[in-house]
């Protein structure tokens, strides 16, 4: 079983409006409300892959209950720990002219006691876990070391961890020795304190490798950098791999979460690095091609899979 941790889920509400009247009353022509947050996207992708999974995390109030009910309808098994504060909503207005405006609530403040309760539930889930995925931002009230704590607990139970977060939580998490961390270029650049792009606008792979090595030195066993249309670069103890997908247009939201889901799935299946990356790059592409984060078509996945090129690189 893959245990997915989502400590800060969201209810993502989208209103489609023909032409927004910013000074009056609008009547949306279409309304969508979906459970979101990076961990939720990972869980939905794993569910679509047919993986055995459980989504754990924190959920509070009416919005938390709503997310739980919606995940139930989507067939995603959940074991969310209740918190007192209200789970966050994101609210996005999409104008017929293409303008997109987002309003992201700050989300709940989690207490020490609630996080302790979560750890109790998480520890039980670890007993049946083969991989743990920790994904997304930390809610207010939790220290930057929260993911490190959860990775240490997983290690104590012999369960490898995949971490996808940013900033201090990523650095501290890497120090707890996860099997894989998956930063994107922006997160890596922020950690490295420098731009990682080459003169042609694409990523400077030497610089990306150097930034990834910082996370390996900190403690991560492997680093997979997601570089958008430039693909994935894996820097591991066994070598360095580059997976490049075919060009695809669409909505990049959730593509990184699909990559994380595929990496976790590949770990469970014991896929070697080359194959693991091929699937991760293909699933990322297929998710870009789909209109909704966390979804993809089997056709796009299969097409992308045969189009991805994977090279094991000389470490130079």
Rg of the chain, C-alpha, whole Å: 19
Task: Give SS3 for 66.
Answer: helix
By C-beta, is 69 or 156 nearer to a second copy?
Answer: 69
Cα separation of 69 and 184, whole Å? 31
Largest CA distance in the chain: 60
CB of 56 to a second copy, least distance (A): 20
By C-beta, is 13 or 125 nearer to a second copy?
Answer: 13
Cα separation of 255 and 160, whole Å? 22
By C-beta, is 101 or 297 nearer to a second copy?
Answer: 101
Copy the structure tokens of residue 308.
């991805």
CB of 22 to a second copy, least distance (A): 5
CB of 271 to a second copy, least distance (A): 36
Contact residues for a second copy, defined by CB under 8 A = 11, 13, 15, 17, 20-28, 31, 33, 61-63, 65-66, 69-70, 86, 89, 91, 93, 99-106
By C-beta, is 79 or 91 nearer to a second copy?
Answer: 91
298 is catalytic: no
Q: Which one of the listed residues 200, 257, 298, 300 is annotated catalytic?
A: 257
Copy the structure tokens of residue 230.
């430039």
User: Is 78 exposed, middle or buried, given 0-12, 13-18 or 19+ CB atoms closer than 10 A?
Assistant: buried
Closest CA to 49 of 308, 204, 267: 267
CB of 172 to a second copy, least distance (A): 24
Q: Which residues are catalytic?
A: 257
């Amino acid at each position: 079983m893959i245990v997915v941790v989502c400590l800060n889920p969201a209810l993502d509400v989208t209103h489609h409006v023909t032409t927004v009247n910013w000074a009056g009353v609008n009547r949306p022509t279409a309304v969508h409300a979906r459970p979101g947050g990076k961990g939720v996207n990972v869980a939905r992708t794993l569910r679509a892959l047919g993986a055995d999974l459980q989504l754990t995390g924190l959920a509070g109030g009416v919005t938390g209950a709503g997310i739980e009910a919606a995940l139930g309808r989507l067939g995603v098994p959940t074991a969310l720990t209740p918190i007192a504060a209200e789970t966050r909503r994101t609210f996005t207005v999409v104008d017929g002219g293409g303008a997109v405006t987002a309003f992201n609530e700050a989300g709940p403040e989690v207490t020490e006691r609630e996080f302790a309760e979560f750890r109790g539930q998480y520890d039980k889930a670890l007993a049946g876990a083969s991989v743990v995925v920790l994904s997304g931002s930390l809610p207010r009230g939790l220290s930057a070391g929260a993911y490190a704590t959860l990775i240490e607990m997983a290690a104590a139970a012999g369960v490898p961890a995949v971490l996808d977060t940013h900033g201090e939580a990523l650095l501290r998490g890497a120090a707890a020795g996860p099997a894989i961390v998956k930063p994107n270029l922006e997160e890596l650049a922020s950690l490295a304190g420098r731009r990682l792009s080459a003169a042609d606008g694409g990523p400077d792979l030497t610089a990306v490798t150097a930034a990834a090595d910082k996370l390996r030195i900190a403690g991560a066993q492997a680093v997979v950098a997601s570089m958008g249309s430039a693909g994935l670069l894996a820097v591991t103890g066994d070598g360095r791999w580059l997976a490049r997908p075919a060009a695809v247009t669409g909505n990049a939201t959730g593509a990184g979460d699909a990559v994380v889901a595929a990496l976790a799935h590949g770990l469970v299946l014991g896929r070697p690095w080359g194959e693991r990356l091929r699937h991760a790059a293909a699933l990322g592409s297929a998710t870009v091609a789909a209109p909704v984060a966390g979804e993809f078509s089997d056709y796009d996945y299969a097409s992308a899979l045969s189009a991805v090129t994977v090279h094991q690189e000389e470490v130079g």
